[in-house]
Amino acid sequence: MAMGVPFKKSLSRFFVFPEIIAILLAFLIGALILVFSGYSPLVAFSALFRGAFGSRNAWGQTLTQATPILFTALAFLLTFRAGIFNIGVEGQFLMGAMASALAGVYFSGLPAPLHIALSLLLGGAMGALWGLIPALLKVYLGAHEVITTMMMSYIASYFTSYLVNYPFKAPGWVAQTENVAKTALLPKILPPTQLSLSFIIALFLSLLLSFFLFHTYFGFQIRAVGLNPGIAENRGIAIKNRQILAFILSGFIAGIGGGGEILGVHGRFVDGFSPGYGWDGIAVSLVGKLHPGGCILASILFGMLRAGGMTMTRVTKVPLDLSLIIQALVIILVSAPYFIKAIILRRKDF
């Protein structure tokens, strides 16, 4: 209350980006936690930033980590815009990854570009199929998508696990498929890091999705259905149709993401290779304000916390969990913009 009016005004102008404040605040709280646990935040954070952006390789690491969650964020965002809470992105991602892996292993004799395209598209198609099932259940039987997509995720998780443990298991004691053919591997774009063409595909899909949502009538109808099904119905928009379309496209994007991860990073489907990219995608999508451009930035932020966190752990012995704590704080604080405003301005009349 002691602050003068001009200062407040300049602060509120700053709030065009309340997310930035939220992120800074998350780091601040992280720093406090570090201090209380007996670490130096300065040392820890400088290691974290060096690990994330300090060199070409660091950038490569960060963007590699950002890639799969950018795909899953876009997938979640598309259904969310249609008013559907598709929390089954993880399942669509895994099914896509499996389809791409099998196509990579068992097709042979194809030229590289064709083999890659075919494997990725099969991944996308498998993801789309995994999205279509809950879509049909919702539209024709009224089954709520939160339940069905979550269950579909579990099915995908155990089903792919079964496939790599039994029918498609490569010899050896690890549950994984054979390596995919060389012709199916996505080119690395920043050697020696793992960053592959998959990242470029994700960026391209972000642009495409943005164009789709805001410059085509399909996107317009999907957004209208999501915001207000009542008027969409009134003005003759085929609601069910558009919801199914959103689900299919969402699954397709997630599936390509899964395929990109296999063909770009792992080279084979390894049981449990996803630490929950589908779930992280939901958070990235929300932090990115449900906009493709925002998702790019948010995925890089999350990628930075993962990549930098590993360096931090190596250099300073601060556990990797701190990165995850900061990540969680970002999610909480970004989803509470009013809380942030209230803290900073301490005004009553919000």
Partner 1 sequence: MSKILQTIGLTKSFPGVLANDRVDLEIEEGEIHGLLGENGAGKSVLMSTIYGLYRPDKGKILIRGKEVVIDSPHTAIQHGIGMVHQNLTLVPSFRVWENIILGKEIKKGLFLDEKKVLRQLEELLKVANLEIDLRAKTEELSLGSQQRIEILKILYRGAETLIFDEPTTVLTPQEVDQLITTFRSLKKEGKTIIFISHKLKEVFAVCDRVTVLRKGKKIGTLPIGEATPEKLAEMMVGRKVLFSFPRGKKPGKEIILKLEDITTSEEKGKVALQNINFTLHAGEILGIAGVEGNGQRELAELLVGLIKARKGKIFFREEDITSLSPKERIKRGIAHIPEDRLRRGAIADFTVWENLIIGFEDQPPFVKGKLTFNHSFLKQFSSQKVKEFEIDTPGDDALLKNLSGGNQQRVVLARELSGNVFLLIASQPTRGLDIAATEYLRNKLLELKNQDKGIVLISADLDEVRSLSDRVLVLYEGKIMGELSPESDEYQFGLLMGGKNGNGGSI
- By the criterion CB under 8 A, which residues form the site for partner 1? 215-218, 220-221, 223-224, 227-228, 230-237, 348-349
Best CA proximity match to 127, nearest among 247, 254, 243, 246: 254
164 by Cβ neighbours in 10 Å (0-12 / 13-18 / 19+) ranks as buried
Give min distance, CB of 119 to partner 1, in A: 28
155, 156, 162, 164: CA torsion to nearest 10: 180
Nearer to partner 1, 171 or 230 (CB): 230
Cβ proximity to partner 1, 114 vs 238, nearer residue: 238
Name every residue whose Cβ is closer than 8 Å to that of residue 269 and which is 6 or more positions away in sequence: 97, 98, 101, 102, 160, 163, 164, 168, 176, 177, 262
CB of 232 to partner 1, least distance (A): 8
Nearer to partner 1, 245 or 262 (CB): 245
Q: Which is nearer to partner 1, 108 or 228 (CB)?
A: 228
Judging by beta carbons within 10 Å of its beta carbon (0-12, 13-18, 19+), is residue 200 exposed, middle or buried? middle
Q: What end-to-end distance do the CA atoms of the chain give, in Å?
A: 14
Least distance (Å) from partner 1 to the CB of residue 253? 18
The region, left, alpha or beta by phi > 0 then psi within -120 to 50, assigned to residue 236 is left
The CB-of-245 to partner 1 minimum distance in angstroms stands at: 12
> For partner 1, which is the closer residue by CB, 167 or 230?
230
- At closest approach, how far in Å is the CB of 227 from partner 1? 5
Least Å from the CB of residue 76 to partner 1: 19
Token output for 14 = 């700053």
**H or E segment and range at residue 3:** none
Taking the least distance from each CB to partner 1, the nearer of 83 and 255 is: 83
Least distance CB 350 / partner 1 (angstroms): 10
* Comparison of 215 and 317: residue with beta carbon closer to partner 1: 215
Kindly give, in sequence order, each residue whose CB lies less than 8 Å from that of residue 197, ignoring residues fewer than 6 positions away.
186, 187, 188, 189, 260, 264
CB 68 within 8 A of CB 79: no
